[in-house]
Amino acid sequence: MRPLEEILIEYEELRKSFRNTTKSGSLTKDSLIEFQGRFIDLKADLKYWRVKYTYEWTRRDDKAATAIKFRIAVAMTNGTYNLDSEKEEENGKLPTITNAEKLASGSKEYRDFVEQRGFYKESLTNLSDTREDINSYINEIKDRLK
């Protein structure tokens, strides 16, 4: 498995090389087949990353978000979670479950979870777009070979 950054750099270089070659008019059947093979290889290399990001994103679905928020809220009501709210600490009272759920939404752990969720969703979207772009190049080459 190659690093994703390396694959994306190679894709950009291959894309530019293909466009420069098509502009210069020096495309032969052999060069088209070579470009097609390289695009297909890149698409295959991206498969691992697409699966990985899909898995990570689905691990952070709505159910998981609700579950982590509720676990934090329960810990707050039990007094096992360090509250950031000075007002609650001054009163010496633990929050109710309803209040704790509101407070849990602002907790660092929950914010980190939501941030990770956004990262994996955006990464998955970008990978899907890149794979579609590669498909477009493969289809363009296929059309030129006809």
Question: Which are the contacts of 3, defined by CB distance < 8 A and separation ≥ 6?
Answer: none
Could you tell me which residue, 106 or 12, shows the higher pLDDT? 12
Angstrom distance (rounded) from CA 75 to CA 88: 14
Could you tell me which residue, 34 or 96, shows the higher pLDDT? 34
Task: Give me the number of domains the chain comprises.
Answer: 1
Q: Taking the model in full, what pTM does it have?
A: 0.79
Show the domain range for 56.
4-145
Angstrom distance (rounded) from CA 115 to CA 92: 32
> What's the pLDDT at 137?
97
Tell me if 66 sits within 8 A of 98, measured CB to CB. Answer: no
